[in-house]
Amino acid sequence: MKTRRNAVWFKILLIPMLLLSLFVQPATKTQAATDLGLTVDAAILIDASTGKILYEQNGYESLGVASMSKMITEYILLDAIKAGDISWDQKYQVTDYTYAISQKRALSNVPLREDGSYTIRELYEAMAIYSANAATVAIAETIAGSEKAFLELMGKKVESLGITDYTFVNSTGLNNKDLQGYHPEGTAEDGENMMSAASIALIAYHLLKEHPDVLDTAKVTEKTFREGTSDAIVMKNWNFMLPGLIYEYEGVDGLKTGTTDFAGHSFTGTAVRNDQRLIAVVMKAVDANGEGSYKARFDATKKLFDYGFTQFSEQEVLPAGFVVEGNESIDVIKGKADTVNIATAEAISLMTTKDDVAKFTPTLFLDEEALEAGVEKGTVVGKIVLEHAEGKDYGFIEGGDLTVDVVTTENVERAGGISLFFAGVGSFFKNLWGGVTDFVGGIF
């Protein structure tokens, strides 16, 4: 009787456990395998050298990006400078739009004179250091003629990087309602720029690859705009993780903050230590009370950097000259040798943990089953794809597999005419004999 009663109680206790299991969902790719306790809407951490994703939390949802949008404006400007289409000394004449916006100091601005002209370098520094919004519009107008036309360039730029999850309504990242009716025609009056954390990280990744000198300005903690004139104004960098500032973090030298009511407190940061550079993106960071703040976004970024610099290092996961057992060679037709040895062309190294090195498994994919002589050493015959055995790898910010070419490791010359003749004769009789035995076997 007691056993029966216990069984009944066990079933009763099992009911809430079963109900709870209905609401527990398995982890998805966008959930972090390691919980860093980040109180953000999205976050991502990548290796700036390879684009290897080291951490990702809701990184593919399109969210408000605020002034992190200015990285695209910087990118397009630096492209134009490099191409010679724009020069640093080129002058910009203030328009009604940029004058009106620049007078609104609450928006982060350097005041522009109504009849003033400014060099592109002055405007760029104001944008990159102080996140000056009117200066950003001025650059957009200089490059494209109007901010509306500049939006098309922004779209083309990110699409060239493979980004499709974007919404652009202005060059600055402000909410359009703050543009005093000057927002680009065809965009919503309260519209705001949107992208995912992964897309922002991809932009930062390419920006640093193609224009590393962007950091020369991004790392400036303070500079005076129009120094020595009556218009002089001190521009203090909003990136408080820079050396000497309140949330200083060793190695930080960029890149761009962003804050609006819609986007919250967001940040794209980069830091370098021991020749290892990381890029971190946090979006809509809040504190323990659920309140957004400058501290919250830099605290979240610090956790990402700490995780990246302490847990990851460059590890060789596959050596050069690696040979897949059972596939040490590939056949050669009409050669002095019947086969040629093959191996990986180079080593594969990436940012990972020491524990994970042995968890990457190689799979060989050959382009052809045989080569025709003569074969030159270093001929690519296929590739090896590495995959994480437990499926806990985030991959790369640009997508794609972790691969290395497989090549021939020696030359194989073409056989001479006589050798090919006798080889052909031997092949003929071999095929003939095979046909006879098949025939005889068919009779008996």
**What residues act catalytically?**
67, 70, 131
Token representation of residue 53: 């994703």
Asked if 280 contacts 305 with a C-beta cutoff of 8 angstroms, the reply is: yes
Give dist(CA 230, CA 250) in Å, integer. 36
Cα angle 235, 239, 240 (rounded to 5 degrees) comes to: 100
Question: Measured over all CA atoms, what is the biggest interatomic distance in the chain, rounded to whole angstroms?
Answer: 110
Q: What share of the chain is helix, strand, coil (3-state, %, to 5)?
A: 35, 25, 40
| Pure H helices in 253-390 | 294-311
Asked if 150 contacts 70 with a C-beta cutoff of 8 angstroms, the reply is: no
Pairing of strands 117-119, 91-93: antiparallel
Give dist(CA 93, CA 138) in Å, integer. 8
Indicate the angle between helix axes 197-210 and 70-83, nearest 10 degrees.
30
C-alpha dist (Å) from residue 192 to 233, 320, 347? 28, 49, 45
CB neighbours of residue 299 within 10 Å: 17
